[in-house]
Structure 1
Amino acid sequence: MNELHVYWNAYHKPTKAINHLISAMAQPTSVKNNSPPDGGWGWMIVAGCFLVTVCTRAVTRCISIFFVEFQTYFGEDYSRTAWIHSIVDCSTMLCAPLGSYVSNHFSCQVGIMIGGLLASTGLILSSFATSLEYLYLTLGVLTGLGFALCYSPAIAMVGKYFDERKALAFGIAMSGSGIGTFVLAPVVQLLIEQFSWRGALLILGGFVSNLCVCGALMRPIALKEDSKNSPELLKETYALEAQQKDPNQTSTCSPLTEDCSHKSLCYCSQKEYHFLLMPDFIILAISFLFLAYGCSPPFVYLVPYALSVGVSNQQAALLMSILGVIDIVGNITFGWITDRRFLKKYRLICYLIAVALDGLCCLFLPILQSFPLLVPFSVTFGYFDGAYVALIPVVTADAVGTPYLSSALGVVFFLHAIPYLVSPPIAGLVLDTTDSYTGVFLLSGFSMICCSLLLCLAKLAKKIKKTRMASIGTASDPEQKTWANGDVTHSATSA
C-alpha cells in the first residue's frame, strides 16, 4: 500500500520542469529586444493605438452631440444632463490604474479585448434608457470602465516600441481622437436624425466593439530595461531578500500556481509606483488637475453654445469636425517638431506653451457669436489641444522613465478623473445660475493657464536652485584639487 501511495503521488504531482513549462505557456508570446525597435511591428502598435483613441476619446467627445437630445427627451436641466459626459470621462480616468494593472500583470491584449466588450455592452444597453440615472450607469460607468481598460495600456505600448521617434509615434497614435471626432461628429448627427438617439447609440455600440480587434494587434515586447522592473522579477527579489533575513523560508511567488503574500504584493507595488515620490512627477501631477478641469467644458458646451447664438445643428456639428481635423494636425506636427534634436530638451516648454495658448482661446470664446467667428476658435483650440495631448505621454515618460510609463499613465489619467467628473456639472450650474456661457469658458481658460504657470514656475525654481548650487560649489573652494589613488581619495590645495 505504501508503494502504491508513493507511485500515486509521483504520478499526479507535477515536476518543477512541468510547472515551469505551464508558466511559460501561460505568458503571452513577446518579442525580445535590447532597445525599442523604433519601427517594424511598432507601426502596427501605432495603428492599433490610433484605433483605440478613435473608439474611446472620439466617441466620448461625440457624446456631447447627444446633449440636447437627452435634455429634450428627459426634460432635465443643463447640470443634470452634463453628468452623463462627466461620468464617462471620470470612469475612464478613475479606472485607468486598473487598466495599467491588467496590462502589467496579465496582458495588454486581454485588457483591451475585455474593455472593448464592456464599452460596447454599455453603449448598446444605453439605447434602451428610460431615465438619466439609467444612462449614468450604462453610458457613464460601464462604458467608461471599458474605455479605461483600453486607453492607457494602448498608449504605453507605443512608448515601449519607440524611443528616437517617440513624440511622432505618440502624435500619430493619439491623432485618432481628432480624426475620429472629425469623422464621427457629422455621422453621429446624421444617425440621430435618421434613427433617433437610441438608434445612434446602438450603432456606436457595434462600432466600439472593434476595440477587440485593436487588442489583438498589441503584441507584447520584452525590453532589457523592462526586465529589471517586471512584476515577476520584483517578486523574486522580494523572495530572495526575505530568504536572506529568514533562511528557513524557501517558498517563492509563482504567478500561476501560488498567490503572493501580502508583504510581497506591497513590495512589488512599492517598487512599481516609487515614482510617486519624485518631485518632478508630483508637480506634473498637480498641473494635470488644473488641465483636466479646464479642457473638458469646451468639448461639452461648444455645440450648445453654438446653437444658442443661432448656429444651425449641422454647422454646430461641423465646428466639432473642424476641431477634430485640426486636432490631428496638432498631434502629428507637434510630435514631429518636438522629436527634432534641437527641441528634445525643450519638450516640457513646448507642452506648457500649447496648454497656455489653449487657455487663451477659451478666454476669447464668449465674444465669438457667429459661425464665421467660431471657425477660427475651432482651428486654434483644436490645434493646441492636439499639441499638448500628444506631449502628455512624452513629458510623463521624461519624468518617470519608459519602464514605469504604463503605471505612471494610469496615475496621470486617474488624476484627471475628479476634474472630469465635476467640471461639466459645475459649468452647468454656472450656466443655470447666470444664464450665460461667459463664466463657463472663463473658468476653463484660467484653469488651463494656471496649469501652464505652475509648470513654468516649477521649472524656473529648479533652474535657479541648480544655478545657485553650482555657484556655491564653485565659490566654496575654487583652488581645491582632488584626485584618486586606488581606494583612497587625497585632497590638496595648491599654493
Structure 2
Amino acid sequence: MEKGIRGASSVTTMAQTKKVPGIAPPDGGWGWMIVAGCFIVTVCTRAVTRCISIFFVEFQMQFARDYSGTAWIHSLVDCVTMLCAPLGSFIGNRLSCRIAIILGGFLASTGLVLSSFATSLEYLYLTLGILTGMGFALCYTPAIAMVGKYFCERKALAYGIAMSGSGIGTFVLAPAVQLLIEHYSWRGALLILGGFVSNLCVCGALMRPITLKEEEISDTSPAETEHEYTIKQNCLNSPPVQLISKDREQSCFCFQSIQEYRFLLMPDFVVLAVSFLFLAYGCSVPFVYLVPYSLNVGVSHQQAAFLMSILGVIDIVGNITFGWLTDRRCLKKYRNICYMIAVAMEGLCCLFIPLLQSFPLLVPFSVLFGYFDGAYVALIPVVTSDVVGTTYLSSALGVVYFLHAIPYLVSPPIAGWLVDRTGTYTAAFLLSGFSLISCSMLLCGAAVIEKCRRTRSGTYTTTNTDPKLQNWKNSQANC
C-alpha cells in the first residue's frame, strides 16, 4: 500500500515538473532581437578589448613604464575574459542569461570608469584587466548561448551575424577611440567607453528566456540511476519554506552541477576540446606579428596598418557569408567538414607567409586569412552545439572559451622567443600554421574513426552519444 502511494506521488511529482511546455526554436521573430543583442555584446566585449591596445602609448607616457609591463593590461583583459567564461555559464544556468549579462555589463562599465582615475599601472591591472575582463566574461558566453536556443534552421547565419560584431566594432571603434583620446585625453576616452559598455545591460534585458523541447525531454532521462532520481526528486519537491539540511543542500547542488557538465564525458566533445587548444595557439600569432613582419620585409607603416584593416573587414565578410553558405540545405549536413576546411586553409595561409615579402603579395594573405578566420569563428558555437546539443550549449561554450585562455596568453611570447632565437619570423609562422592544421587533422581523424566504427557495427546513429538528446536529435534531424 505504501509503495503504491509512493509511486502515485512520484508520478504526480513528475507531472508537476513540466508546467512550462517546451517549444521548438522559433528561427526568427524575437530571435532576431537576440541576434542584435549578441551582436552588440560582441562589439562591447571583443571589439573594445582590441581597442585597448590604442591606449598603450598613452599609458607608457603617463606611467613611464616599458612595453612589457604595459602589454600585460591587454593580456589580462583577454585572458580573464576567457578564464572566467565558465563563471558566465554557471550564473546563466543558475539564474538566467539575462541576469548574467546585466551583471557583467555593470562590472565592465564600472571597471572602465574606475580606470579613468588610474594613478599607477598596477591599478589598471586590477580595474581594466581583471574587473573589466570578468564583466566581459559574464556577458560573452550567455549571449552566444541564447542565439543557439532561438535558432536551428538558420543557426549558422544567425551566429555569423552575431559574431561579426567583433570585426565591425573594431573597424568603427578604433578611429573613434583615437579621436576621443585626442580631444578628451585617455582618461576621458576611458570614461566615455565605460558609458558605451553600459549598453550591455540593455542587451541583457533583451534576452527573453525560452524553454525548448530538448530541455523538457532531458528532465526525464531513462539513463538516470535510482540514486540520481531520488536526489533529483528531493531537490525538486522541497517546499519553499522548508529548511533544508546542509547535507541535502550540498547533494542537490552537486547533482545539478554534474547534470550541467556531463557532456565532458562525451568522446566527441573531448576531441573537440583538445582541438581548440591547437586552434587558439595558431590563430593568435598572425594578429600579433603581421605588422612587425611586414615592417621587417620593407613595407611602410601605412601599408602595414592597411593590411590589418583589410584583415578586419574581410573577417566580417567571412562571418556572415560562411554562416549563410553553411545554412544551405546542400551544406548543412557537412558543417563540421566546412569548419575543418576553414581552419586548415587558415593554417596553409600561415605556412606561406615567409614566402610573401612585399605589400602586393601580403594583400592576398590578409584577404584569405581574414575570410577563413571569420568563417571558423562563426562556426565554433554551431559545431559545439552539434556535438553537445542546445541543453548543454551554455556550459559547453564556457569550457570552450576557457580552453582558449592559456594559448592566448602564451602563444605571443613563444613566437617572440622564436623570433629572438632565429632572427626571422619563419619559425613563428610555421608553428602557427602547423598548429592550425593539426587542429583540423585531429577532427578529421576522429570523424574517420567514428565512421569506421559505425560501419563495422552496422548502425547509423547520430554523432551525439548522450541518451538525453537522442529523441530531440531524431525529431530535429534537419537542424
Normalized against structure 1, the TM-score is what? 0.79
- Deviating more after overlay: 353-362 vs 308-317: 308-317
Q: 1:140 and 2:129 equivalent?
A: yes
Describe the superposition over 1:388-429 as per-residue Cα deviations: whole angstroms up to 9, x where unpaired. 011101110111111111111111111112112222333344
The aligned counterpart of 1:105 is 94
Q: Which secondary structure does the structure 2 equivalent of 1:403 belong to?
A: coil
The aligned counterpart of 1:388 is 376
From the superposition, tell whether residues 250 and 419 of structure 1 become closer, same or farther in structure 2 (CA, over 3 Å): closer
CA contact (8 A) 2:148 2:390 kept: yes
The aligned counterpart of 1:267 is 255
CA contact (8 A) 2:343 2:439 kept: yes
Q: 1:91 aligns with which of 51, 65, 80?
A: 80
The aligned counterpart of 1:39 is 28
The aligned counterpart of 1:9 is none
The aligned amino acid for 1:58 is: A
Q: 1:413 aligns with which of 392, 401, 420?
A: 401
Kindly state the Cα deviation for residue 149 of structure 1 after the two structures are TM-superposed: 0.4
Q: Which secondary structure does the structure 1 equivalent of 2:211 belong to?
A: strand
1:209-358 matches, within 5 Å, as 209-229=198-218, 241-242=230-231, 252-253=237-238, 261-306=249-294, 315-358=303-346
- Deviating more after overlay: 415-424 vs 294-303: 294-303
Describe the superposition over 1:283-324 as per-residue Cα deviations: whole angstroms up to 9, x where unpaired. 000000111112223223334545555656655444333222
Kindly state the Cα deviation for residue 243 of structure 1 after the two structures are TM-superposed: 9.2
What is the root-mean-square deviation in Å for CA atoms of aligned residues?
3.2
- Deviating more after overlay: 367-376 vs 86-95: 367-376
Kindly tell me the number of residue pairs found equivalent between the two proteins. Answer: 436
The aligned counterpart of 2:138 is 149
Kindly state the Cα deviation for residue 351 of structure 1 after the two structures are TM-superposed: 0.4
The aligned counterpart of 2:462 is none
From the superposition, tell whether residues 367 and 409 of structure 1 become closer, same or farther in structure 2 (CA, over 3 Å): same
From the superposition, tell whether residues 204 and 314 of structure 1 become closer, same or farther in structure 2 (CA, over 3 Å): farther
Report the Cα distance in structure 1 between the residues aligned to 2:127 and 2:357, rounded to whole angstroms.
35
The aligned counterpart of 1:24 is none
The aligned counterpart of 1:184 is 173
CA contact (8 A) 1:303 1:316 kept: yes
CA contact (8 A) 1:58 1:180 kept: yes
Report the Cα distance in structure 1 between the residues aligned to 2:241 and 2:302, rounded to whole angstroms.
55
CA contact (8 A) 1:31 1:221 kept: no
Report the Cα distance in structure 1 between the residues aligned to 2:425 and 2:454, rounded to whole angstroms.
44
Kindly state the Cα deviation for residue 261 of structure 1 after the two structures are TM-superposed: 1.2
From the superposition, tell whether residues 177 and 242 of structure 1 become closer, same or farther in structure 2 (CA, over 3 Å): closer
Report the Cα distance in structure 2 between the residues aligned to 1:254 and 1:386, rounded to whole angstroms.
49
Kindly state the Cα deviation for residue 365 of structure 1 after the two structures are TM-superposed: 3.1
Report the Cα distance in structure 2 between the residues aligned to 1:159 and 1:375, rounded to whole angstroms.
35
From the superposition, tell whether residues 193 and 222 of structure 1 become closer, same or farther in structure 2 (CA, over 3 Å): same
From the superposition, tell whether residues 243 and 52 of structure 1 become closer, same or farther in structure 2 (CA, over 3 Å): closer
Report the Cα distance in structure 1 between the residues aligned to 2:294 and 2:281, rounded to whole angstroms.
21
CA contact (8 A) 2:232 2:252 kept: no
- Deviating more after overlay: 459-468 vs 263-272: 459-468
What percentage of aligned pairs have identical amino acids?
74
CA contact (8 A) 1:171 1:334 kept: yes
Report the Cα distance in structure 1 between the residues aligned to 2:211 and 2:108, rounded to whole angstroms.
29
From the superposition, tell whether residues 243 and 109 of structure 1 become closer, same or farther in structure 2 (CA, over 3 Å): closer
Gaps of at least 5 residues in structure 1 are: 1-29, 472-495
Q: 1:201 aligns with which of 190, 197, 212?
A: 190
